[in-house]
Structure 1
Amino acid sequence: MTLWIPDIVERPGPKYRAIAAAIADDIAEGRLAPGAKLPPQRDLSWRLGVTVGTISRAYTEAERQGLVRGEVGRGTYVLRPGLREGFPMRADQSADDIDLSLSFPAPGDEGDYIGDTLRRMADDPGSVDFLDYQSPAGNLRHRAAGAAWLSTTGVHVDADGVVITSGGQNGILVAFSALAQAGDHILTEELTFPGVKSVANMLGLRIQGLPIDEHGVIPEALENACRTQNYRFLYLIPTIHNPTARVMPPERRAALADVAQRHNLMIVEDDIAARCIVNPPAPIATLMPENTVYLTSLSKAVAPGLRIGYLSAPPDLLKRQASIVGASAWMATPISAELATRWIEDGTAEKILDSRRAEAIARFKLATAKLGHNSISATPGCHHIWLTLPEPWRATDYTEEAKRRGIVIAPAEIFAAGRSNAPHAVRICIGMPRQRKKLDYALDVLAEILLSHNMRDIAMV
């Protein structure tokens, strides 16, 4: 624990804000190092002559700003700079490092199609229309293509039931903004996509992580949460969960839908990776369309650089979400939406998806062969695997040792929702690098680190 006493004498405003500002300043000036444990709340309240509640509010405010993270039963710790934005640190990354920290799709043959499509768009006199303003919800033909894409996962709506977003991350922002306001409480899995935490922080939403097992959120935990607190919605990634790579079975989806309907709880279903696997389970949106906001995009299946996503929701809510798109960006980029539409209409999107899926499955087999003797979870076609570390490894130690060896991965701490405890696990993204032989080498290094550490422990006995 760090013996740290903040200087708040000259700081204006409420004391909790002054303490939070002191935390920020002392981190910036190096007086609070990454990993440092802040004093217990009762101890610091006594030293500063304030209430324990004031210290609790200060620590909560610092956590909301992404400066620290509290863990039940362990205390509050200063985050490393890269974790403060919800994503792995990259500033110190060498050009020679192999980055397995970001969930990129596996390489496909999209390069075979982009040139021809752009030439045809350039030769089409009608393409000039896509340099003009469009409806915030998107051009009707583009929305029809989005509806066609949604239908491939079993969500059947017409063009009027779709809003085009600037990718999945923008879809999350739009959905959250329409459903909640600053100070509201929301639910997620106890391990969740870091981009969700960033959006929640930006909007001032309070995240509560729900316990998960090998099938996803535990229905009894959702039931208990709904009985004890008014939550605005539950955000879920049921297919290829990020970070655990698990697929929620139909029975669990039905159980969660039942709880949500009984408590009139909205579900925001992020299905961005559903098309990456063969025959994914039917979305929760098919079970309770009147209480579900359904999000997807082309990022994992076709091309992340297109930044095109599709959102479907009950009609009144969809209108509000279209207005939020208009207020924030006016519209998704029409030229990107046109390219995406052409690829959906002529079957190119499916060809690219097939090529990416084939490569992802090959990489899945490679990763399970290299690390399968350890506790991993993964799904054929997914772009990352989840490695639960053996004793005595901690996630941060393993991540740092991998970084020292030139491999960048993401520790579980990045994905912990709210004050949920992070397991000793790491996410390893297998979609990058583009050359499979580099991935092969990186996986060998990661396996070797585990083995060598265990061997050192045995040698010390």
Structure 2
Amino acid sequence: MISLSSNYPVLADQQTVFKPITDRHCATYNEWFTIKPAAGNPEDRRVAAGWISRSGPAIGEDRIYMAISGHQAIIVALLAASLQGTAIAVDEFTYSNFLTIARLLNIQLIGCKTDEKGMLPSALAAASTQHNIRGIYIMPTINNPTGVVMPLERRLELIDIARKHGQIIIDDDAYGFLDDNPPANFAQLAPDLGWYIYSLSKPLAPDVKVAFIAAPEQYREQIIMMLKLTSSNPSTFFTSFVSAAISSGELEKLITRKRIEGKSRQLKTREVLSGYEVYGHENGFHCWLKLPGGVTAAVLYASLLKEGVEVMPGTIFAAPGVGAGEYIRIAMGAERDMNRVIQGLEIIKKQLG
């Protein structure tokens, strides 16, 4: 099966890059035998604060918390802000697993129209007058699945609306590392209402279980409680590994290479699918394909599986009430060999007729 569904960008020679980091890290085994603070070690939080503050205002380490994954960080944010059972605004096309998390927490999702700059302020304002929206969840820097990057001006517009209606904004930055010059995140732009989640599973590797949470100061006690309830404490094995990779400059070098590889894969994908409407970030490892008339995502998905190719139908990214039967998401990160990706793309093209 050619996997064009999962999207964890891994370079072909990444084991070689990792070996010196892991060899050094094993010498810290004496630190692995004691329970650490639920929010994470102060040194790891300091490094994390510096890392996520690179483009824009500095975030203090007292606003930083360590989680074991992006999913845990999202759940902690929702529970700490008491958003279970409430209404949350999302992009009309958004992260599929967030839709699942919301269902588990009895959260009503309100899909808001988007354009090439992301969520429309007019759509959020209208939704906020019609529903008691308590929060906003967005992926503003390389949206999954569309690849859109929200410019600074649009972010400031959404902050004004959120502040007017007493809402928080959860900024999920799963793919922002691939952007060469990302705008400031919402925790930087609005410290009173902005949350920011940065997972290391894609910048580093899928099995590196670390995510950073930046949050407004007033939620500190609730966040620590939810971290304790969902994981006891973060893994020093992984958090110190990440801190070492950041401090040595090795993470930055790896990300630079991933951006280059992403740009190459995005270009080759568009070459194969020339003539079709393909959306995606220039360095992105996924793209959003609009299907030609008469082709539905459900039928195409099923026929591609029979041909040995797995993609993601657009319907799994659609907010409630939003139709997405005319889209599929194609991910180019799971297959290390780009030739296999191209083989899968050729099969897609053939199926499209």
Asked whether the equivalents of residues 106 and 430 of structure 1 are also in contact (C-alpha less than 8 Å), the reply is: no
Aligned CA RMSD, in angstroms, stands at 1.6
Counterpart for residue 227 of structure 1: 129
Normalised to the residue count of structure 2, the TM-score between the two structures is: 0.95
Deviation at residue 447 of structure 1 after TM alignment: 1.4
Asked whether the equivalents of residues 180 and 205 of structure 1 are also in contact (C-alpha less than 8 Å), the reply is: no
With 315-324 and 327-336 compared, the bigger mean Cα shift is at 315-324
Counterpart for residue 433 of structure 1: 335
**Helix, strand or coil for the counterpart of 1:304?**
coil
Asked whether the equivalents of residues 67 and 212 of structure 2 are also in contact (C-alpha less than 8 Å), the reply is: yes
Counterpart for residue 99 of structure 1: 3
Greater RCO, 1 or 2 (C-alpha within 8 Å, sep 6+):
2
Deviation at residue 249 of structure 1 after TM alignment: 2.2
CA distance in 2, matches of 1:134, 1:253: 36
1:261 lines up with 2:156 in the alignment = no
Asked whether the equivalents of residues 10 and 205 of structure 2 are also in contact (C-alpha less than 8 Å), the reply is: no
- Bigger Rg over Cα: 1
Cα pair distance change 1:142/1:395, threshold 3 Å: same
| Aligned residue among 141, 144, 152 for 1:250 | 152
CA distance in 2, matches of 1:265, 1:139: 30
1:310 lines up with 2:212 in the alignment = yes
Counterpart for residue 116 of structure 1: 20
CA distance in 2, matches of 1:214, 1:106: 28
Counterpart for residue 217 of structure 1: 119
| Aligned residue among 402, 410, 414 for 2:312 | 410
| Aligned residue among 248, 263, 285 for 2:187 | 285
Deviations 1:402-460 (A, max 9, x none): 1121110001111112232224100000112111110111111111221x2xxxxxxxx
Counterpart for residue 333 of structure 1: 235
Deviation at residue 109 of structure 1 after TM alignment: 4.4
Counterpart for residue 15 of structure 1: none
Counterpart for residue 162 of structure 1: 64
CA distance in 2, matches of 1:211, 1:202: 24
| Aligned residue among 268, 272, 289 for 1:370 | 272
Asked whether the equivalents of residues 174 and 324 of structure 1 are also in contact (C-alpha less than 8 Å), the reply is: yes
CA distance in 1, matches of 2:290, 2:83: 36
CA distance in 1, matches of 2:16, 2:61: 29
Cα pair distance change 1:110/1:320, threshold 3 Å: farther
CA distance in 2, matches of 1:422, 1:318: 38
Structure 2 unmatched ranges of 5 or more: none
In structure 1, what residue type is equivalent to 2:214?
A: S
Normalised to the residue count of structure 1, the TM-score between the two structures is: 0.74
CA distance in 2, matches of 1:432, 1:287: 33
Deviation at residue 211 of structure 1 after TM alignment: 1.6
Deviations 1:27-73 (A, max 9, x none): xxxxxxxxxxxxxxxxxxxxxxxxxxxxxxxxxxxxxxxxxxxxxxx
Deviation at residue 332 of structure 1 after TM alignment: 1.8
CA distance in 2, matches of 1:435, 1:350: 23
Deviation at residue 106 of structure 1 after TM alignment: 4.2
Q: Which runs of 4+ in 1 moved over 6 A?
A: none
Asked whether the equivalents of residues 253 and 284 of structure 1 are also in contact (C-alpha less than 8 Å), the reply is: yes
Counterpart for residue 201 of structure 1: 103
Asked whether the equivalents of residues 292 and 314 of structure 1 are also in contact (C-alpha less than 8 Å), the reply is: yes
Counterpart for residue 256 of structure 2: 354
Deviation at residue 203 of structure 1 after TM alignment: 1.6
Deviations 1:269-320 (A, max 9, x none): 1122111121122223333221111111112222221011101111121332
Counterpart for residue 459 of structure 1: none
